[in-house]
Structure 1
Amino acid sequence: MHLRQNTLSRKPNYLYASVLLIFISLICVGYSIVSRDDFDLARQEILLRKIGHELLLQSGDSTSRVLPVKKIAVNEYQISFENELTFQPDSLVNTIQSLLANGPFAPDYVVNVVNSDDASVVFGYAISKNKKDDIIACIGRRQPIGNYMIQIQFEPAGISLAKNEYIIGSLIALAIVGFVFLRTVKPRKSPPDSRNANLLTLGSMSFDAETRKLVINDKTIDLTRTESRVLHIFALSPNEVIERSQLQKEIWEDEGVIVGRSLDMFISKLRKKLEFDPNINIVVKRGKGYKLEISS
């Protein structure tokens, strides 16, 4: 029995340790995802610069630079060039599509070729994961030399997919752990104070049914077993009439003998012991029974 109690007492400790371990694991996974995001961002910039490099080569330029890639919005990037260039739309579409297929990008994106002189869009198209939703036009017309910028906007869900999965997974894991924890660990109820449970207040007196004592002004009055039983019945229903037959039945029936005058004798003895408080008295209700009167 003692071993079982020790096992049960250790159970909450195991649960606390499990919750802490899962929490630490989730934090570690979160840091790893953040690190992975940083790596993916660096890889994205390299791929975008490579797109610019390939477009320069297709334009016949192998010496000028691709300017640093700019992130102009949450999911939008801009590729700029040092010099002017020309491009063939179908080659641009194929080049960007083949390079982005190897990177950590969303499958849905929109590409706009902007003339930096007047901010006009000279060519644009949209690629979707579902090929039927692709929008590509004017692919057979070569564009003249100009100061162009390539702007690529990705589907937002693709960029934050890993984070969303991590957050959702973390919430589910914590919810499961919390549910199991709450089902397993029940709050301990403090045991009732047995002393207060048997202590009744009668005016300025305190009556302890268990120890069969009356206490008033630090004075203790001992009661007999029967006196205590009679007073306890009265104390549970103060200022209420209790029938004589009910008192006799509850006190003496289990002993097999009911004596009418015995009740009167115990009532008389109780009256004397209650005289220390003039606000308490046991009165007779003719034809009905007795009542413990307590006046304030």
Structure 2
Amino acid sequence: MHLSRNLFSGTRKYLLGLLLLSFISVVCLAFSINGGDDFTTARREVLLRRIGHELLLQSGDSTSRVLPVKKIAENEYQIRFENELTFQSASLVNTIRRLLAKDPLADDYIVNVINSANSSVAYGYAISKNKKDDIVACIGRKQPKARYMVNIKFKPTGINTAKSGYLLGSLPFLAFVGFIFLKSVKPRKTLTKDQDKNMLYLGSALFDAKNRKLIINEKTTDLTGTESRLLLIFALSPNETIERSRLQKEIWEDEGVIVGRSLDMFISKLRKKLEFDPNIKIVVIRGKGYKLEISA
């Protein structure tokens, strides 16, 4: 019985440990996802600086700097320049399209070129994954020299939202799985020392030796005095061979009569009462005796 309770306790600890490990794995995954987002952002900013560099070259400026790219909103970036420049709308559209093709998450975006002097939009257009939805106007015009800023706003892909919700979405699932596991493994009642002497667990069955009852799957079966004494011998030595002579001596010696066929009859009766649990069997060990086999 102590072994059974220890096994149950170990099972609960195993399940709780498994749930804890799953939770830690989800947290680590969430952090790794955030790390991936940081890399994507850094790579995108490099591409945006490259766009600024090529726009300066097209304007005939190979010496002034592209200022650090600024993230002005979620999914929106600003390319700034040290000096004034001029640009042709067609070259601007083609340059940005060519370089952003290297960003797998930049299928849809809006570009606005802002004149820093008055914060007005000097030129703007929209690119879509479906080219039929592109909005590009004034493609052949050259813009006058001024201090410009290029704002590029990317369409949210939903990936960041999904990744952010991955952890929160997993927690209820883990809680549900834990509830199902812990509910399915019902704790057995703790027995007092007096009860320990008379109540024994045989696999999933409970044997009440004092009251001569066998409880299997909440079904109670009454035992006779002889059946109870016989089962008690087996229960105290599970999965061990018990000699036939010992069983006969301990059960019938006090009555002064030992009949071999009586033992076989009571063994047969016990087998029928134990058949509700397929994991408990009384088997014959030829030439020796019997064994109460309790499988896990």
TM-score (norm 1): 0.57
- Mapping for residues 79-228 of structure 1, pairs under 5 Å: 79-103=79-103, 105-158=105-158, 160-161=160-161, 163-164=163-164, 166-167=166-167, 170-171=170-171, 173-175=173-175, 177-186=177-186
Contact kept? 2:126, 2:134, Cα under 8 Å: yes
Contact kept? 2:12, 2:182, Cα under 8 Å: no
Summarize the Cα distance change of 1:188–1:74 in structure 2 as closer, same or farther, 3 Å threshold.
Answer: farther
1:138-193 residue CA offsets vs partner (Å, 9 max, x unmatched): 112122222111001122345724624633652465255335334433466678xx
Contact kept? 1:75, 1:159, Cα under 8 Å: no
Mean CA deviation greater in 36-45 or 100-109: 100-109
1:97-133 residue CA offsets vs partner (Å, 9 max, x unmatched): 2222222644222110111111111111112223222
Contact kept? 2:66, 2:82, Cα under 8 Å: yes
Q: What residue in structure 2 maps to residue 48 of structure 1?
A: 48
Contact kept? 2:59, 2:87, Cα under 8 Å: yes
1:217-263 residue CA offsets vs partner (Å, 9 max, x unmatched): xxxxxxxxxxxxxxxxxxxxxxxxxxxxxxxxxxxxxxxxxxxxxxx
Summarize the Cα distance change of 1:161–1:90 in structure 2 as closer, same or farther, 3 Å threshold.
Answer: farther
Counterpart-to-counterpart distance in 1, 2:162 and 2:44 = 15
* Letter in structure 1 aligned against 2:34: V
Higher relative contact order (CA 8 A, sep 6+): 2
Summarize the Cα distance change of 1:171–1:93 in structure 2 as closer, same or farther, 3 Å threshold.
Answer: farther
Counterpart-to-counterpart distance in 2, 1:62 and 1:159 = 38
Counterpart-to-counterpart distance in 2, 1:158 and 1:23 = 24
- Mapping for residues 244-255 of structure 1, pairs under 5 Å: none
Counterpart-to-counterpart distance in 2, 1:3 and 1:50 = 70
TM-score (norm 2): 0.57
Q: What residue in structure 1 maps to residue 74 of structure 2?
A: 74
Q: What residue in structure 1 maps to residue 33 of structure 2?
A: 33
SS at match of 1:80: strand
Q: What residue in structure 2 maps to residue 282 of structure 1?
A: none
Counterpart-to-counterpart distance in 2, 1:138 and 1:89 = 7
Summarize the Cα distance change of 1:83–1:46 in structure 2 as closer, same or farther, 3 Å threshold.
Answer: same
Q: What residue in structure 1 maps to residue 265 of structure 2?
A: none
Contact kept? 2:23, 2:171, Cα under 8 Å: no
Provide structure 1 residue ranges, at least 5 long, that are not aligned to the other structure.
192-296
Summarize the Cα distance change of 1:65–1:131 in structure 2 as closer, same or farther, 3 Å threshold.
Answer: same
Q: What residue in structure 1 maps to residue 279 of structure 2?
A: none
SS at match of 2:86: strand
Summarize the Cα distance change of 1:175–1:109 in structure 2 as closer, same or farther, 3 Å threshold.
Answer: farther
Counterpart-to-counterpart distance in 1, 2:18 and 2:78 = 47
Summarize the Cα distance change of 1:187–1:152 in structure 2 as closer, same or farther, 3 Å threshold.
Answer: farther
SS at match of 1:136: coil
Provide structure 2 residue ranges, at least 5 long, that are not aligned to the other structure.
192-296
Counterpart-to-counterpart distance in 1, 2:126 and 2:186 = 57
Counterpart-to-counterpart distance in 1, 2:37 and 2:76 = 16
Q: How many residues align?
A: 193
Contact kept? 2:30, 2:164, Cα under 8 Å: no
Contact kept? 2:109, 2:127, Cα under 8 Å: yes
* Letter in structure 2 aligned against 1:51: I
1:4-49 residue CA offsets vs partner (Å, 9 max, x unmatched): 5543332111100100110111121122122222222221221111
